[in-house]
Structure 1
Amino acid sequence: MIEIRCIIAVVERGKAEKVVDAAKSAGANGATIFYGRGTGESEVKKFLNMHVEASKEIILILTEIDKYKNIMNAMVEAGQLKKPGTGIIFTVPVTNLIGLHHREEFEE
């Protein structure tokens, strides 16, 4: 069985489409985008004296382990995620994957 990673990115509202387009160009088959609200805004204001938008877009991408680094790097660049206050990105391993329409791509 092929190892799968889930890339999770939390970006400023309105930036997800650009980040997902970059991910697809780097090999991602698709993405799920949903909306959220951050709770760390007041702490950032206190310590860094900067505004951070509370509304966020959360991106989930499932991909094979050998593709995730290229996809993740493209997302970081497109979203300028190395700049403070622009978002975060991380991965988690995926086990027991059931119900993915394109699942056969992940199976041997």
Structure 2
Amino acid sequence: MRFKLIVAFVEDMQSADLIQVAREAGATGVTLINNARGEGLEPKKTFFGLNLDIQRDVLLFVVEEHLARNVLESLAARGEFDETPGTGIALQLDVEDVVGVAHQIESLTSRAEDQL
């Protein structure tokens, strides 16, 4: 079985909603890293030297390759990544090898077969 890694950088207020959307689209789990920072086209605003950043989370999904595009598109649609600047980004990477998902293989296999 082959996998993709989907990495999403999102506002912390959206994390729970986007995790649910990803699960509905085929993701079987997530690793959440909070307190990330980033900057887009526009520099960050400051107020007397204090950053006015919105807290960001990093969501990591290891997804079976046939389900990955659907998960990625679902995250982008719900997060409005293309419609609203600064809401977040998501990307997909090939995974060479993965361990620790043996308990999820059965579920992943049936979901992938249903999608095909």
TM-score by length of 2: 0.73
Q: May I ask how many residue pairs the two structures share in their alignment?
A: 101
Q: Which amino acid aligns with 1:18?
A: D
Superposition RMSD in Å: 2.4
Q: Which amino acid aligns with 1:97?
A: V
Q: Which amino acid aligns with 2:92?
A: T
Instruction: Please give the per-residue CA displacement for 1:83-105, whole angstroms capped at 9, x wherever unaligned.
Output: 21001100111122122353534
Mapped contact 2:79–2:87 kept (Cα < 8 A): yes
Gapped regions of structure 1 (runs ≥ 5): none
Task: Find the structure with the greater CA-based Rg.
Answer: 2
Gapped regions of structure 2 (runs ≥ 5): 46-50, 110-116
Alignment of 1:13-28 (within 5 A): 13-28=12-27
- Aligned identity (percent) is 26
Moved over 3 A (4+): 103-107
The residue aligned with 1:56 is 56
TM-score by length of 1: 0.78
Alignment of 1:1-108 (within 5 A): 2-40=1-39, 44-45=43-44, 53-82=53-82, 83-102=84-103, 104-105=105-106
Q: Which has the higher helix share?
A: 2
